[in-house]
A = this chain, B = another copy of it.
Amino acid sequence: MSQSEKLLLQALAGHATARPPIWMMRQAGRFLPEYREVRATTSSFLEFCYTPEKAIEVTLQPIRRFGFDASIMFADILVIPDALGQKVTFQENVGPVLEPVTDAGAVARLSADGLQNHLAPVYETLKGLSAALPPHVTLIGFAGAPWTVATYMVGGRGSPTQAAARLLAYREPQTFQALIDLLVEATASYLIAQVEAGAEVLQLFDTWAGSLAPDQFEKWCVAPTKKIVEAVRAIHPDVPIIGFPKGVGTKAVRFLQETGVQGISVDTGTDMIWARETLSPLATVQGNLDPLALVAGGAELDRATDALLENFAGRPYIFNLGHGIEKETPPEHVAQVVRRVQA
């Protein structure tokens, strides 16, 4: 099968496909018993991400089980701060814990010098996946967008309001700009190398874009994304990029006009009639089945699936969730949706 026959690439090229391609954010993960089995063999989560054999295996598991049309490499958005020299650990029932970067000195101590060596295992994972995936399956690489990665770097952990990063951006805009600039450079290099290792599509996760005031959103989400897209495109002009500025509502229009991404992943709350009318003319829309509808299952899940299919009939569209799969999700509910979309 040639590249041009892959459904995800067709949809991202702006074509209405015979049926939409389907994949799910966090499709490789804790909801699968076979994932938990492999995960249990390594205590450190980052070491797990950096072990190509294991990362390849867990990436392939949902492809084998469900027959998704795309495969997103298993990794974490916090490999970037780790590669820049910040101390990053993952703690059970807490999540990521980082030594916070809170002033200009701490930003200056970060360095992209060892980045490519540090991330070499991720590229090995992509090369292995590229060789192992069935021919119709598109390989997706990804990174966290600078703003979202910075919220963890500054706050030291996840937080519901991202207050630490938002405050640093107001109080010391130059320090924060230096951090974002470093992240733009590192993320662009990382994504370029991912394409060279076999990634056919890239997704930029900006999970916490929704907490920013509109002027801050321009500075810390739109502008850095635009720079990354330009840098990647200067080397690899044809690789499609999907943005996921979560929770930004109407500001998604501005995001698309400025950044020039080919795809936009939209969150659970997004009104898909609005997305079809307003975003679809600007980029291929991806989303937004409620991950909790997937947990609940039943006839309601079929109804929600059908509503998305009908809404985007005759348009380029990628079936996905509005956020990552929940760990409580029964795998048979995922199979139910895949069957229905691929029917």
The answer to whether A160 and B163 have CB atoms under 8 Å apart is no
A290 close to chain B: CB less than 8 A: yes
Closest to A210 in B: B269
Most B CB contacts (10 A, CB to CB) among A160, A268, A295, A322 go to A268
Query: Which residues of A from 267 to 325 have beta carbons under 8 Å from B?
Result: 268-272, 274, 288, 290, 292-293, 295-296, 298, 300, 304, 307, 322
Q: In the assembled complex, which residues on chain B have CB atoms less than 8 Å from the CB atom of A298?
A: 170
Q: In the assembled complex, which residues on chain B have CB atoms less than 8 Å from the CB atom of A213?
A: 268-269, 288, 290, 293, 304, 322
The answer to whether B210 and A247 have CB atoms under 8 Å apart is yes
Q: How far is the CB of A69 from chain B (nearest CB, A)?
A: 23
A contact patch SS: helix
Q: Give the distance in Å from the alpha carbon of A215 to the alpha carbon of B251 in the complex.
A: 22
Q: In the assembled complex, which residues on chain B have CB atoms less than 8 Å from the CB atom of A271?
A: 214, 249-251, 254
A326 close to chain B: CB less than 8 A: yes
Proximity bits, A207-221, B CB within 8 Å = 1, else 0 = 000111111110000
The answer to whether B212 and A269 have CB atoms under 8 Å apart is yes
Q: Give the distance in Å from the alpha carbon of A340 to the alpha carbon of B300 in the complex.
A: 52
Q: How far is the CB of A120 from chain B (nearest CB, A)?
A: 34
Q: Give the distance in Å from the alpha carbon of A217 to the alpha carbon of B272 in the complex.
A: 13
A202 close to chain B: CB less than 8 A: no
A171 close to chain B: CB less than 8 A: yes
Q: How far is the CB of A234 from chain B (nearest CB, A)?
A: 30
Q: In the assembled complex, which residues on chain B have CB atoms less than 8 Å from the CB atom of A293?
A: 170, 213
Q: How far is the CB of A83 from chain B (nearest CB, A)?
A: 28
Proximity bits, A234-269, B CB within 8 Å = 1, else 0 = 000000000000011111001000000000000011
Measuring CB to CB, which residues of chain A are less than 8 angstroms from any residue of chain B? 160, 163, 166-167, 170-171, 210-217, 247-251, 254, 268-272, 274, 288, 290, 292-293, 295-296, 298, 300, 304, 307, 322, 326
